[in-house]
Structure 1
Amino acid sequence: MDWLWWVGAGLLFVLIEIISLDLVLIMFAGGAFAAAGVNAAGGPLWLQIITFAVVSAALLFSLRPWLLRHLRHRMPLTETGAAAQVGRSAVVVSRVTELGGRVKLQGEIWSARTVDGSPELATGTEVRVVRIDGATAVVQSVASDSHTV
């Protein structure tokens, strides 16, 4: 009847995996279910623990990368949050230098600074977000962006 503890742990891993969707805890669930099988077959506790560890690691390092690759192939990864702003256009609302300024990006005002070595950007200049550093958009002029392509 001790195998029920392993099954319970496996089901708990599955439930938490449903919330996190990282495809990590589901691998631990597989290890827990394998350990439950060893327990049901009468295996000692040390063998159950080793089975849990080996099966979990095997699933984590073999099955998880394959699943991630195929999931990303079927559903492309969509950036969200600050990472989604990279590559978008913005308009300078307050002069932007290497030290700071402000841009309007997707309807919101962001603190911004120019890419290192870029000239300052005047109000009204159209810019492209090169990267996000914390809560600051690092930008460069769309005109200079087309010259570097």
Structure 2
Amino acid sequence: MNVLSTIDTWAWIGWLVLILVFLVVEMLTGELTFLMLSVGSAVGLLTGLVGTPLWGQVIAAALAAGALLTFLRPPLLRRLHRGADTRAFNVEALIGLEGLVLSRVSPSVAGQVKLANGDVWTARADADTRLDPATRIEVVRIDGATAVVRASAQRAHDQEAAT
């Protein structure tokens, strides 16, 4: 018995191992890629059970996996992530948040601000302005552990109305 006929005879074991490995990896990742590869391997197994030669099994498995990845995975992912929470969180949630200056803030000297969510942050001014205590601010960005702030639009509007 030659090597190729032995491989062809026992290929079903290889397909089962591939299916199991792909399913385990899919359980760890959850992105549906390895699920599609697992189903493609199952197609390879089925074609082998009906007597298709090994090269035909591999082609059938590759075509099935490619078709599933191309046509089935994208709509399944959209459906899976349809109800996902799109709100910003962590540092991204602070951008645009308003607050008050506690100690003087300028571009070169860091002061402190208290944000609307109750957090106190070290802060620097965004522009070449000095922000005195009790000034209303809004967060422009976060640089490390420092909030970069500017006077809030409400304060600028109040100053324009006063002049």
Q: Percent identity?
A: 36
Asked if the contact 2:106–2:128 (Cα under 8 Å) also holds between the matched residues in 1, the reply is no
1:143 equivalent in alignment to 2:153: yes
Residues 125 and 71 (structure 1), Cα distance of their counterparts in 2 relative to 1, 3 Å cut: farther
Aligned counterpart for 1:32 among listed residues 29, 38, 41:
41
Greater Rg by CA: 2
Asked if the contact 1:91–1:104 (Cα under 8 Å) also holds between the matched residues in 2, the reply is yes
In structure 1, distance between residues paired with 2:46 and 2:140: 53
Asked if the contact 1:118–1:140 (Cα under 8 Å) also holds between the matched residues in 2, the reply is no
- Which residue of 2 is the match for residue 64 of structure 1? 73
Residues 7 and 73 (structure 1), Cα distance of their counterparts in 2 relative to 1, 3 Å cut: same
Q: CA deviation at 1:20?
A: 0.9
Asked if the contact 1:96–1:102 (Cα under 8 Å) also holds between the matched residues in 2, the reply is no
TM-score, with structure 1 as normaliser:
0.63
The one-letter code matched in structure 1 to 2:32 is L
Within a 5 Å distance, the mapping from 1:110-121 to structure 2 comes to none
- Secondary structure of 1:73 counterpart: coil
Asked if the contact 2:23–2:35 (Cα under 8 Å) also holds between the matched residues in 1, the reply is yes
| Structure 1 stretches lacking a partner, 5+ long | none
In structure 1, distance between residues paired with 2:85 and 2:123: 29
1:16 equivalent in alignment to 2:25: yes
Which runs of structure 1 show a deviation greater than 3 angstroms over 4 or more consecutive aligned residues?
74-98, 100-115, 117-142
Q: CA deviation at 1:112?
A: 7.6
| Structure 2 stretches lacking a partner, 5+ long | 1-9, 158-163
Count how many residue pairs are aligned between Structure 1 and Structure 2: 146
Within a 5 Å distance, the mapping from 1:55-94 to structure 2 comes to 55-76=64-85, 86-88=95-97
Within a 5 Å distance, the mapping from 1:41-60 to structure 2 comes to 41-60=50-69
Q: Deviations 1:32-64 (Å, cap 9, x if unpaired)?
A: 111111111121121122112111111111111
In structure 1, distance between residues paired with 2:147 and 2:62: 44
- Which residue of 1 is the match for residue 6 of structure 2? none
In structure 1, distance between residues paired with 2:107 and 2:22: 50
Question: Comparing 52-61 with 135-144, which one deviates more in the overlay?
Answer: 135-144
Residues 31 and 89 (structure 1), Cα distance of their counterparts in 2 relative to 1, 3 Å cut: farther
Residues 112 and 13 (structure 1), Cα distance of their counterparts in 2 relative to 1, 3 Å cut: farther
TM-score, with structure 2 as normaliser:
0.59
